[in-house]
Amino acid sequence: MRKLLFTILFLTIIVYGDNLLQNPSFETWENDTTPTGWVIATSGFRIAQEEGTFHSGTFSGYVTLRSTSTQRIEQYVDVEPLLTYYCSLWVWQDDPHVRTRIYIRWYDSTGSQISSTSSGYSDPDSMHIWQLLTVDAQAPDGADTAHFEIRFYDVAWGDSIDSSMCHIDDAFMGLPANIPPAIGSFERFPIIPRPSVNQTISAIITDDGSVASDTLYYSTDGSSFSPVTHDSLSGTRYYYTIPGQSGGTAVYYFVRAMDNLGVSSGSDTLVYRVYPPATDTVKNSGFESWQTDSIPEFWNIENANYVKVTKSTNAYSGTYSAKLERIVTNHNSGIYQKIKVDPFDTVVVSAWFFDNDPDVRARLWFTWYLWDGSYTNNFDGYTVDSSGWQMLSDTIIAPDMADTLSIRIRLYTEGGDSLGVVYLDGVSAIPYGIDEPVPSISKNKGVIIGSTISLILENPGIHNIKITDITGRVLMNKIIHTGIKNEKININTGNLKRGVYFIINDGRVRKGIKIE
């Protein structure tokens, strides 16, 4: 079968509904200087009925600016919160001394202003042509009324106080007559894509009418995309399969849908990487193997000018440990080892320290290297002076796209001359990985098995949702893409055993739950 590859260019066509403004084309007037339905909000300008220059109909509004302060004419419109209103205005510049824009102020039911939205300005130098000003204005949460304002601004006075002039016509504020399909709440399974394993992508697609067609497009180079039709659907959730790819491949994908009236829309482009299994643990964790008395096998010295490493028989277990000596006063340094990890791995890192020197202290320092070349750091607390061995331990979770973890043990100043010794032994790093259970949502029936809890995601975008136990081990891990504010999602907890768990959203604990 021939594989279809092509570069995609789409145009979304939106038809707009009723105009919420009265007398938007300035066709009717209460008198020569007051258009019907409009409020003259300031006194530093004059608007008059004009029949010689108009965009449509018979008349327009002819504006003469007589003040250097901002002037405006306005209407008050009832609105619904969170809906997006299309606003537009046609402007004719008679001279370069005035500019115009649309300005929307949002008010709640008590009359208190919430926020504002504005278009760009008209171009004062583009004279004697009609210019279209537009803005897509989303009503904020709690909005009840909008002030649709046409504002006039002084640019520079001309020959006289009456020399700043323009025409306005065909104002509009309204909702789309047909809303394009909404695409969001993406999920992937398995969470960690493996080489040659198919990836299931699902998304929720809704429309004010009906969804007539839908397609997922994927690419391994970010430019040429292959189309995939949905395998199945459960209510409004559509399921697609992206064929398995080789290890290290970055896969880009998005979904487009068209409704029954031919209006289409598309999602953001998302990406995941195919990971070969990572099974690394710390090598020579007990410092029993040494290339020389100053180079432990598999370990790297961060900077030998700042820290000295030697083999020591002062060991926590086994025969040897690593003696770390801070040899300069103004630089922190130590030793490190890198291990391969998978995204979202829970890694429990621990190390034993002997620190009875009041001038130095040590700690664990972690660097996550991502497959796109970037990195991020985490670090633990410091050792304390003690006459015996002490353990530092931390449970860390690999970020999305993590490829390598660098485990560093560093020496820091504590007091005195800042020079001194700490002994290191028994460094351990255990990646637990994540479970990949069969999804509890049936593709065919849409039945959620077991108990569920709800979570509100305030902001649209990509979210990482985890369930962990009290030790920090990740028991569930999902990547969810939401397309609207305050989207409600359901999380299945039916496969959890008795115990206490935490729901974490983008690194922040959102809920604690107890399963009896």
State the amino acid at position 271 in one-letter form. Answer: V
Calculated CA dihedral for residues 20, 23, 25, 31, nearest 10 degrees: -160
Cβ pair 514, 470 in contact under 8 A? no
pLDDT tens, residue by residue, 251-290: 999 999 998 878 888 988 898 888 877 666 899 999 999 9
pLDDT tens for each residue of 48-64: 999 989 999 999 999 99
Reported confidence tier of residue 5, pLDDT bands at 50, 70, 90:
very low
Domains 29-174 and 290-431 share a fold: yes
pLDDT at 393: 83
Is the pLDDT assigned to residue 498 strictly greater than 70?
no
The two most distant CA atoms of the chain are separated, in Å, by 101
Would you say the pTM of this structure is higher than 0.95? Answer: no
For residue 294, pLDDT over 80 is answered with yes
Query: Residues 418, 360: contact at Cβ < 8 Å?
Result: yes
The domain made up of 290-431 is a member of CATH 2.60.120.260: yes
Please determine, for residue 343, whether its predicted confidence score (pLDDT) is greater than 90. Answer: no
The domain defined by 29-174 folds into: Jelly Rolls (2.60.120)
Strands 474-482 and 452-457 come out as: unpaired
- Size of the chain, expressed as the number of residues it contains: 516
Two tokens, residue 111: 């009359």
Task: Give Cβ neighbours of residue 13 (< 8 Å, ≥ 6 apart).
Answer: 262, 263, 264
pLDDT band at 39 (very low <50, low <70, confident <90, very high): very high
- pLDDT tens column, 101-153: 999 999 999 999 999 999 999 999 898 999 999 999 999 988 999 999 999 99
- Omega before residue 190 within 30° of 0, cis: yes
In sequence order, the 6+-apart residues with CB closer than 8 A to the CB of 260 are 207, 209, 210, 211, 212
Contacts 24+ apart (CB under 8 A), 505-512: 505/455, 505/457, 505/463, 505/464, 505/465, 506/463, 506/464, 507/464, 510/455, 511/453, 511/455
Mean predicted lDDT score pLDDT of the chain? 85
pLDDT band at residue 12, thresholds of 50, 70 and 90? very low
**In percent, how much of the chain has pLDDT > 70?**
84
CA terminus-to-terminus distance, the chain: 54
Of 323 and 81, the one with more pLDDT: 323
What is the three-class DSSP state of 510?
Answer: strand
Domain boundaries, the chain: 29-174, 184-273, 290-431, 452-515
DSSP letter string over 186-215?
EEEESSS--TT--EEEEEEEE-SS-EEEEE
pLDDT value at residue 514: 60
Domain 184-273, CATH among 2.40.30.10, 2.60.40.420, 2.60.40.10, 3.90.1150.150:
2.60.40.10
What value does the mean pLDDT take over residues 358-378? 91
Given pLDDT bands bounded at 50, 70 and 90, which one contains residue 378?
A: confident
The position carrying tokens 């998304």 is 203
With bands split at pLDDT 50, 70 and 90, how would you rate the model's confidence at 509? low
Question: CATH code for 452-515?
Answer: 2.60.40.3080
Task: Specify the pLDDT at position 299.
Answer: 97
For 89-115, write each residue's pLDDT tens digit.
999 999 899 999 999 999 999 999 999
Mean pLDDT, to the nearest integer, of 157-185? 82
